[in-house]
Structure 1
Amino acid sequence: MGTEVYVNSRELILSILLIVEQNGEYSHIAIRNVLDKYRYLDRKDRAFIQIVAEGTIERKLTLDYMISCYSTVKVKKMKPVIREILRMSVYQMKFMDHIPVSAICNEAVNLAKKKGFSNLKGFVNGILRNMARDEKDWEYPDPSIRYSMPQWIYDSFVSWYGEDYAGKMAESSLMKPLLTIRCCHMKNTPKELKLLLEAEGCEVLESGILEDVFYLQHFSSLTELKSFREGRFMVQDLSSVLAGVAASPKKGSRVLDVCAAPGGKSLHLADMMEGTGSIEARDISENKAAMIRENSARISCDNISVRIQDALVLRQEDIGSADLVIADLPCSGLGVLARKSDLKYRIQPEDLETLAQLQRDILTVVSQYVKPGGTLLYSTCTVNPGENIENVRFIEKELPFSRAGIQECLPEGIDALSKEEGCVQLLQGINPCDGFFISKFTRDK
């Protein structure tokens, strides 16, 4: 029985890789769909599937270079099934411990045969066996191959932040981040939550930055944790929590969160406001609205409502009505590459300006909802200055807002790159969180 599951696990990994590569599905969705469908697999097999699938996608450029050193056929010219079998096998061989080379090679050959490529089993076996025998220390021709990062992204990091920071940022994109959670104060204290999670068998690590932020590991599934089902915590990165801290909503405030899914910031603000006031969490589709409702129901927040609303479309009745508008807008995501394995292959250089313009268009609309003297918080999960500091300057020049103090809101342990008034740039690999940008403004009276 164990052998059947072991073989099946690799076939499921192959199916994930093909869906992502050929159908254009997002990797996290493809992986989630497979794991949801095969819930009966034990914890070890589920972890193996996720690790190999994510790792193979994440290190695709590196793997292709390694394969090309042993293949007479260009990787791009290979049959898709064979290419993905080789990628996932090389990943296991070179980036995972305790998997026998013989098992990797045999399973790869068997998988090729099962998928109708018996004529190429020798090709697959030859590449893998030759690579296994050659115990050389790999030297990569450039940082793009070393970090499996498109050259233009790495060059952009260098241009924006210098060679040293660029290397650390690129390296961090290959490190699996720990699951970060935020304690829901209306349900329990941080100390109570930590004890509950430890009683459920989890290892809980303190962030050392904010007392209500923890790193969680050694659990099978979130939904199996009673404390999660009871809404005692929310999955949310430290950087996103810092955005809520910077916003500093007052009790009784009216808040609009204009691109809110999955609802982490809205729920954080609700917690900070202790259930007072009102928060309207908006997003563009029913799917995104459903994510917010699901999290809101689990956390049991009574002061949150959800609306399907295109942020580009002005809602006249809301003009000048909000004490606080949260604009965490669609962006290039260059600060969260470690969390989204395939994003770096999807985003293109020309997308950066398109996204920056989209952000300005949205800001022009949603800023109108802020009442005189109210607050606008603009944030992104990218490190691209064109989407960050340049949009700060756009807001100052084109909209009736002035920068508000934000540095004093930062806890100890956060050394923000940007020292400019009213904004903070966090960098992955430099700060203990995702790459993230936060800026805060006050509407002129």
Structure 2
Amino acid sequence: MAAAELRDDRRAHGVRNDPRTLVIKHLATQSRRFPDLDIASFETPSLSARDAGLAYAIDQAVARRWLTLVTVIEHFLKQPWEDLGPNVRAALLAGAAQLLLLDRIPDHAAINESVEYTKRGPHRWAPGLVNAVLRRVAALRLEARETFDPARRDELPRGEGGAWRLTTPVFSEDATIRLAEQTSHAYETLDAWAGRLGPEVMRRLALHDLVHPPVIVTGAGATGAPHAEPGFFVFDGDHAALATMLAQHPGVRVQDPGSARPVAATASLRPTLIVDACAGKGTKTRQLAAVHPDTRIIATDRDPRRAAVLAESVKSLPLVEAIPYRHLEQWRGKADLLLLDVPCSNSGVLARRVEAKYRLRPENIESLRDTQRQIIADTLPLLAPNGHMLYATCSIDPIENESQAEWVTKWHPFRVVSSELALPTGQPGTPETAYRDGGYHALLNASA
């Protein structure tokens, strides 16, 4: 970080216990990191529930539409975006997000707090610039439209459906670049999707990533609006009501239907020992216990924080044992089913992992591919003769999916029993019961 940025940060961030100041401070840190946004939750312990909700909404709106907001803001700038400094960029992003993406926030509140924030910084020009730009952003809104027309340069789609018709065509004349700007994707991502899946599927995927995903529950005791996929329900209560349901019904899981598909593919198997080697926080582990109720399950994860959550998640399941990752070796040659829900690009769940779409760079995908192959190579010795490996990702990229299954069968004695690529479903304005995450899985059998 440059010395000027450090001075900017120290002077601009007096301790003020209000949601907009806290979120702008957080966004200044994120601005320094972009495109590698911090995935840790934005913590607001000092705020009331109402103010914390506002801060979270602003933070999520900016993260989901970062590139869209930058495109709009740059239309009114005379200097390059990167020359503004992180605190000025953060103030503009927070203000523009409130003006264009959030409802029931008075324009003066969104603008004034961003201006006041920059007054505490070292740049005398900053308050005037932020005030002028945000007032022009507010003036862009011509009318709310019930539908979004991607062919227009003067429409900004909204996650809940519809669009803002703008007074000025701020988006690109090129169709793919325009949609990338309107939906906050890198052009290269949409171009790759169009080349692989066709332009119409690419448009659906881009718009899907604007949707605010619902909370979906499944398992014995789950209630809510019936999802399009049987056995799943959209939960519409608050956090306290969800916590009550989970406490009263231990068999209930918060799990998207897309996430549940890989384990469901093992229902016809009769394993005596399952090893879940990338168990994360335990959602698929608990699903394994429901699908295979008489089977012993060993679960672990490399990350100590996730492993701690995993141990707590499965402690009530008598046949499930959470172990340290370093103890996996003792199960060498014993697993009838090995589940590898490997780290991935999250390209099938970008509506949930809003920061991930800015990391979809070729070098990152190639690094993940190598990590996935190393995990496969390290854990294959755990399988018993004629055992099955279930490989799963929440990606829709063939480099992480079909190519990995092909790699396994080329270099190891395995055959693919079944596989599925499921693209995400749900569009802005469509029912929550139609929403589903995307992902891939392949069930492979040791053939020698």
Q: Quick one: which of 438, 441, 448 aligns to 1:438?
A: 441
Pairing 1:223-242 to 2, within 5 Å after superposition:
225-230=243-248, 231-242=250-261
TM-score by length of 2: 0.81
Instruction: For structure 2, list consecutive stretches of 5 or more residues without a partner in the other structure.
Output: 1-15, 143-166, 427-433
- Shift, 1:363, TM fit: 1.8
**1:327–1:378 CA contact under 8 A, matched in 2:** yes
2:137 & 2:225 partners in 1: Cα distance?
39
1:292 & 1:444 partners in 2: Cα distance?
32
* 71 and 7 in structure 1: CA distance in 2 versus 1, 3 angstrom threshold: farther
Pairing 1:283-298 to 2, within 5 Å after superposition:
283-297=301-315
2:394 & 2:260 partners in 1: Cα distance?
12
**2:208–2:425 CA contact under 8 A, matched in 1:** yes
- AA aligned to 2:48 is L
- AA aligned to 2:75 is C
Matched, 1:207 2:218: no
1:257 & 1:322 partners in 2: Cα distance?
10
* 251 and 398 in structure 1: CA distance in 2 versus 1, 3 angstrom threshold: closer
1:163 & 1:144 partners in 2: Cα distance?
13
Q: For residue 443 of structure 2, give the secondary structure of its aligned residue in structure 1.
A: strand
What's 1:401 paired with? 414
- AA aligned to 1:254 is L
Matched, 1:88 2:94: yes
2:196 & 2:120 partners in 1: Cα distance?
48
Matched, 1:11 2:24: no
What's 2:203 paired with? 167
Q: For residue 424 of structure 1, give the secondary structure of its aligned residue in structure 2.
A: strand
* 220 and 138 in structure 1: CA distance in 2 versus 1, 3 angstrom threshold: farther
**2:342–2:372 CA contact under 8 A, matched in 1:** yes
Q: Quick one: which of 344, 351, 356 aligns to 1:343?
A: 356
* 295 and 366 in structure 1: CA distance in 2 versus 1, 3 angstrom threshold: same
Deviates more, 1:111-120 or 1:76-85: 111-120
**2:299–2:323 CA contact under 8 A, matched in 1:** yes
2:355 & 2:71 partners in 1: Cα distance?
17
Report how many aligned residue pairs link the two structures.
Answer: 394
- Shift, 1:444, TM fit: 1.7
**2:186–2:358 CA contact under 8 A, matched in 1:** yes
Q: Which whole-Å deviations, capped at 9, do the CAs of 1:206-250 have from their partners, x for residues lacking one?
A: 212131x2222341457x722223434222221111111112265
* 92 and 352 in structure 1: CA distance in 2 versus 1, 3 angstrom threshold: same
Pairing 1:112-123 to 2, within 5 Å after superposition:
112-115=118-121, 119-123=125-129
Deviates more, 1:18-27 or 1:392-401: 18-27
Q: Quick one: which of 306, 310, 317 aligns to 1:301?
A: 317
* 242 and 433 in structure 1: CA distance in 2 versus 1, 3 angstrom threshold: same
What's 2:60 paired with? 54
2:32 & 2:17 partners in 1: Cα distance?
23
Q: Which whole-Å deviations, capped at 9, do the CAs of 1:382-412 have from their partners, x for residues lacking one?
A: 11111111112122222222222xxxxxxxx
Q: Quick one: which of 29, 33, 40 aligns to 2:40?
A: 29
**2:276–2:297 CA contact under 8 A, matched in 1:** yes
What's 1:140 paired with? 171
What's 2:155 paired with? none
Identity rate, percent: 23
**1:179–1:235 CA contact under 8 A, matched in 2:** yes
- AA aligned to 2:103 is D
Q: For residue 118 of structure 2, give the secondary structure of its aligned residue in structure 1.
A: helix
Q: For residue 206 of structure 2, give the secondary structure of its aligned residue in structure 1.
A: helix
What's 2:48 paired with? 41
Q: Quick one: which of 416, 419, 438 aligns to 1:423?
A: 419
1:355 & 1:103 partners in 2: Cα distance?
43
- AA aligned to 1:41 is S
The root-mean-square deviation of aligned C-alpha atoms, in Å, is 2.5
**1:282–1:309 CA contact under 8 A, matched in 2:** yes
1:7 & 1:100 partners in 2: Cα distance?
20
Pairing 1:60-99 to 2, within 5 Å after superposition:
60-99=66-105
**2:25–2:90 CA contact under 8 A, matched in 1:** no
**1:254–1:321 CA contact under 8 A, matched in 2:** yes
What's 2:115 paired with? 109
**1:254–1:279 CA contact under 8 A, matched in 2:** yes
- Shift, 1:47, TM fit: 2.5
**1:322–1:371 CA contact under 8 A, matched in 2:** yes
**1:61–1:145 CA contact under 8 A, matched in 2:** yes
Q: Quick one: which of 375, 381, 387 aligns to 1:362?
A: 375
